[in-house]
C-alpha cells in the first residue's frame, strides 16, 4: 500500500542494523512523496546530521554507543523541537511505551510495520510535536502574563490617600511591543496632610527594567513615609539605581510633586522628565522651569532645584511618561509631542485621561499617567 506522505519531508534514521535500515527506507519510498532520508549508524553520527532541516527522527533504541532510553534522551536534548519516533524490536514493545512516557511522540515495533502504518506514525508524531510545542507556548505565555501582572501591580500600586478633597486618576497602557517597561508611579499622603506624587521611567524594556522600576517605586514610598521628601530622597534613589542596574548606561527620569496640605502650592522636582501639564483657573500650560535637573544615574553630583508652582483654588495637574507624547496621532501618524498634548487638553477643556488616550494612535513605549485634581467644594 502507498503511504500517505503527500509532501517531501526530511527525516533522520538512526539505526545500526543495515537490514532494518533498508526495510525502513524501502517502506518510505512507497510514499506519494518519498522523503529525503539521512542515515546514521550511531548516536555520534546522528549528532553531525541532526540539523534544523530534520523534521522527524526515527531512532532505534539499541545503538552501539547508547542503550535503550539513553539514546532517546540524547536525541531529545539535541533536537527539542523535532518529532521523535522510536523503533523497537518485537521483544521490546514495553520499551516503546516507556519511550513515549519519556518524551517521544510515538513508537513502532519493527516487525509489525508496513508502509501505510509507518507514514501515518511519522505524520502523527509531527502533528503531536506541533501540538506539544503549541501547548508549551501557551503555558509559557500564561506564566509570562501572570508575571507581568505581578510586576504591574508592584509598579502601579493603590494610592495612600485619606483626603476627599483631591480626585486621583491613573492610567497605564503597555507599548506596541507588549513588553513590560520600567514605568512606575505612586501617591502618598503624609500625616501633615501633604500629598506626594511621583511618576518615573527606567530607560529600556524588559523584566530587568521593570524590576528596577519596582525597586525605585518602593524605595520612594518608603522614604516619603519616613519623612524624606527633599534632595536626600533623590540622592538615595540615585544610589539605589546605580547599585541595582544591570549596566551603567541605565538611567531613570522622574517627576515628583509635593502638594501642600492647603492644596494651594506644589513643590516639584522634574528629573530629566517631560513637563507636567497644569490646568489652572481655566488656563492650560506646562509647568515652567522644567526639567529642574538631569535624570538619575548620569551625574554623581547632580542637583535638582525645587520648582514652586502656585495652584490656586481650581486646578488639575497631570504627570505622565514619554510614552504619551511619543504616541502617534492623526491620519499621518505624527508624534503627539508636548504642544500636541496641550492642544488636546485645550480642545477638551479639561484633563480627561480616557479621552486623551482614545485620541492617540500607536504606542512605541509604555504610557503611564497620573491626574490629580482639586475637587470643587
pLDDT in tens, 115-173: 888 888 888 888 888 888 777 767 666 666 666 666 566 667 889 999 999 999 999 88
Retrieve residue 211's grid coordinates: 524590576
Q: Is 68 helix (H, G, I), strand (E, B) or coil?
A: coil
End-to-end CA distance of the chain: 88
Q: What is the pLDDT of residue 150?
A: 62
Nearest to 360 by CA among 342, 374, 341: 341
Averaged pLDDT score across all residues of the chain: 86
pLDDT score for 281: 85
- Cell reading at 331: 491620519
- pLDDT (0 to 100) of residue 1: 38
pLDDT at 2: 45
Task: Give residue 355's region: left, alpha or beta (phi > 0; psi -120 to 50).
Answer: alpha
* Nearest in space to 81 (alpha carbons), one of 36, 138, 133: 133
Q: What per-residue confidence (pLDDT) applies to 166?
A: 93
Question: Which domains are seen in the chain, by residue range?
Answer: 10-136 (3.40.50.2300), 156-374 (3.60.40.10)
pLDDT at 178: 54
pLDDT digits (tens, 9 = 90+) for 219-244: 999 999 999 988 899 999 999 999 99
Low-confidence ranges of the chain (pLDDT < 50): 1-2
The per-residue pLDDT for 260 is: 96
Contact between 53 and 10 (Cβ < 8 Å): yes
Provide the whole-model pTM: 0.63
CA distances from 375 to 191, 205, 224, 277, 349 (A): 20, 36, 24, 17, 16
Amino acid at each position: 500500500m502507498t503511504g500517505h506522505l503527500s509532501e517531501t519531508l526530511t527525516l533522520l534514521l538512526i539505526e545500526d542494523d543495515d537490514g532494518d535500515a533498508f526495510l525502513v527506507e524501502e517502506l518510505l519510498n512507497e510514499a506519494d512523496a518519498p522523503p529525503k532520508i539521512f542515515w546514521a549508524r550511531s548516536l555520534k553520527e546522528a549528532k553531525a546530521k541532526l540539523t534544523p532541516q530534520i523534521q522527524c527522527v526515527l531512532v532505534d533504541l539499541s545503538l552501539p554507543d547508547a542503550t535503550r532510553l539513553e539514546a532517546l534522551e540524547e536525541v531529545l536534548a539535541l533536537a527539542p523541537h523535532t518529532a521523535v519516533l522510536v523503533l523497537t524490536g518485537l521483544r521490546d514493545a514495553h520499551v516503546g511505551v516507556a519511550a513515549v512516557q519519556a518524551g517521544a511522540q510515538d513508537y513502532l515495533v519493527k516487525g509489525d510495520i508496513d508502509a501505510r502504518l509507518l507514514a501515518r506514525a511519522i505524520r502523527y508524531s509531527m502533528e503531536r510535536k506541533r501540538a506539544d510545542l503549541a501547548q508549551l507556548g501557551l503555558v509559557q505565555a500564561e506564566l509570562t502574563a501572570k508575571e507581568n501582572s505581578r510586576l504591574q501591580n508592584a509598579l502601579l500600586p493603590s494610592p495612600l490617600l485619606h483626603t476627599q478633597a483631591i480626585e486621583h486618576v491613573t492610567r497605564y497602557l503597555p507599548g506596541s511591543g507588549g513588553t513590560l517597561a520600567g514605568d512606575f508611579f505612586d501617591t502618598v499622603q503624609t500625616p501633615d496632610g501633604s500629598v506626594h506624587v511621583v511618576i518615573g521611567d527606567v530607560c529600556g524594556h524588559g523584566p530587568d527594567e521593570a524590576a528596577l522600576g519596582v525597586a525605585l517605586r518602593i524605595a520612594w514610598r518608603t522614604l516619603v513615609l519616613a519623612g524624606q521628601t527633599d534632595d536626600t530622597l533623590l540622592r538615595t534613589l540615585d544610589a539605589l539605581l546605580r547599585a541595582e542596574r544591570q549596566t551603567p548606561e541605565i538611567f531613570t527620569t522622574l517627576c515628583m510633586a509635593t502638594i501642600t496640605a492647603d492644596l494651594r502650592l506644589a513643590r516639584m522636582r522634574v528629573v530629566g522628565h517631560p513637563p507636567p501639564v497644569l490646568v489652572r483657573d481655566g488656563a492650560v500650560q506646562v509647568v515652567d522651569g522644567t526639567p529642574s535637573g538631569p535624570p538619575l544615574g548620569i551625574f554623581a553630583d547632580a542637583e535638582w532645584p525645587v520648582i514652586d508652582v502656585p495652584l490656586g483654588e481650581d486646578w488639575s495637574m497631570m504627570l505622565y511618561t514619554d510614552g504619551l507624547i511619543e504616541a502617534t496621532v492623526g491620519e499621518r501618524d505624527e508624534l503627539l509631542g508636548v504642544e500636541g498634548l496641550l492642544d488636546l487638553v485645550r480642545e477638551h477643556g479639561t484633563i480627561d485621561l480616557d479621552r486623551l488616550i482614545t485620541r492617540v494612535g500607536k504606542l512605541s513605549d509604555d504610557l503611564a499617567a497620573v491626574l490629580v485634581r482639586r475637587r470643587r467644594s
